[in-house]
Amino acid sequence: MSDPRSLLERESRRFIQQDGAFERLVRRRDRKRRNQRIAAGFVGIAVFVAAVWIVTSGLSFDRTETPAVPGPAETGPTYNGPTYTLGPVTNEDLAVGESFMQAWVDGDGEAAAAMFAPDATFDGFQPAVFPALYDWFRAGGWTFEGGGCGRHGGGGEPGAPLDVVGCGFTFENDLTRALGMRPVPKDLSFVIEAGRIETAWFGGGGDCCHNMFGSPDPLRQDLTGPGPDLFGAVWDMFIEWLSTSHPEDFGRMYDPDYGYPVSGYPILDPGSIALWERYTDEFVASPQELARSFTEWMASQSFEVQASRICMTATDEFWATKRADNLQRSDAAFYSTLARISEETLAELRAIPLETEADRAAMDAFVPHAERLIELSRQQAEAAAAGDHKRLNELGGEWSNLWFSVWPPPWGCLVSGWGF
């Protein structure tokens, strides 16, 4: 077993207030905004085709790369990132993942912590952090619904050498409820040996170490990383509001230099958690005002951030409709819904003010490409309605070829579906 004094010493570093936390957040935020202007290219809307192509072609979106193991943080406490050996995943491992997700959904921190091996990590922390983490969740009204667990990262078949256990869940909190958002999907990944969890992190399969609470977090919208995050913009606005409205307490609540990537994590001592509860209640006190504030905040962000949010919302709407109506790829309604939502999304994208020549050139190049993809979706709907499966397959091939001809897309998507 770990020496209790050593464990407490390591955990206590999480709760030490860091001097100048607010100033560091502001510098990091300003640097992010400069970089967003410089690096126009792919962040945001980039998935018009991605998932729908995956859906229409029937291919898997599992990754095969071994996740990078994070190193020490540049500043602040050392991040204890996962070290592990991938796969193969057994049925017994999947059962451990399912048991953990039940404890996660139930908010049973002690039961969750007991499933970890000595010296294991969860999200870079020792599992002793669970009780405090759940106190923080309760302060913000976080609730969870568990999904299933499967073999992720290496092919999904029993015995695959590069697999981890991947489990999905959805969450809501006081912020999402105030904005009328649907439950937000998220993944947890596990490496399990001999019935005990060796390490776990936010992210699906090969997507290692998504910092769920980092802000600003440029990897949140990185298409080569964990994928788009519907909650990200809401969280960023909340953290910015905290840092500017309550700078006297912000450094006691949030460490901008902690996490992976080094981008922030809530401080989990009792005094901090009490402040989180107080200021969350203040922030969501007027849902209508909050919605207006969020709209105004988004309008002040870069083109990439605004476009990304539009596309992620469209993705959520499409896949929620698919699930609710039980749409299949052979259904005309699948393709007509895709065409309708994609067309509406394109109209929203075109309404964003374009402040740079690069943004205007990218949009000019993207629009005819997107319009052709929408037209192909309409033709697929007609073929499906007529029962013309040969024509449907031909159109699917043309759709996929058009997507591949511009991969990676020039920053853009209309509907995305990585992981949904």
Query: Given this model, what pLDDT does residue 293 score?
Result: 92
**Residue among 12, 14, 10 nearest 265 (CA):** 14
CA 171 centroid distance within chain:
12
Sorted by where each begins, the domain ranges of the chain are 22-29+62-292
> 10-residue block means of pLDDT along the chain (420 residues)?
35 37 44 37 33 35 30 37 69 94 92 93 88 95 90 65 83 95 89 92 70 76 53 91 96 85 85 97 94 89 82 82 88 93 90 88 85 92 94 89 67 46
Query: Given this model, what pLDDT does residue 105 score?
Result: 93
Report the C-alpha gap between 201 and 178 in whole angstroms.
28
Query: Given this model, what pLDDT does residue 244 score?
Result: 94
Query: Given this model, what pLDDT does residue 36 score?
Result: 38
Q: Which CATH architecture has domain 22-29+62-292?
A: Roll (3.10)
Give long-range contacts, CB 8 A cutoff, 24+ apart: 182-186. 182/316, 182/320, 183/145, 184/229, 184/230, 184/231, 185/147, 185/230, 185/419, 185/420, 186/212
* Phi, psi values for residue 125, rounded to 5°: -110, 160
Query: Given this model, what pLDDT does residue 407 score?
Result: 61
Residues 6+ apart with CB under 8 A from 365: 410
* Phi, psi values for residue 144, rounded to 5°: -130, 145
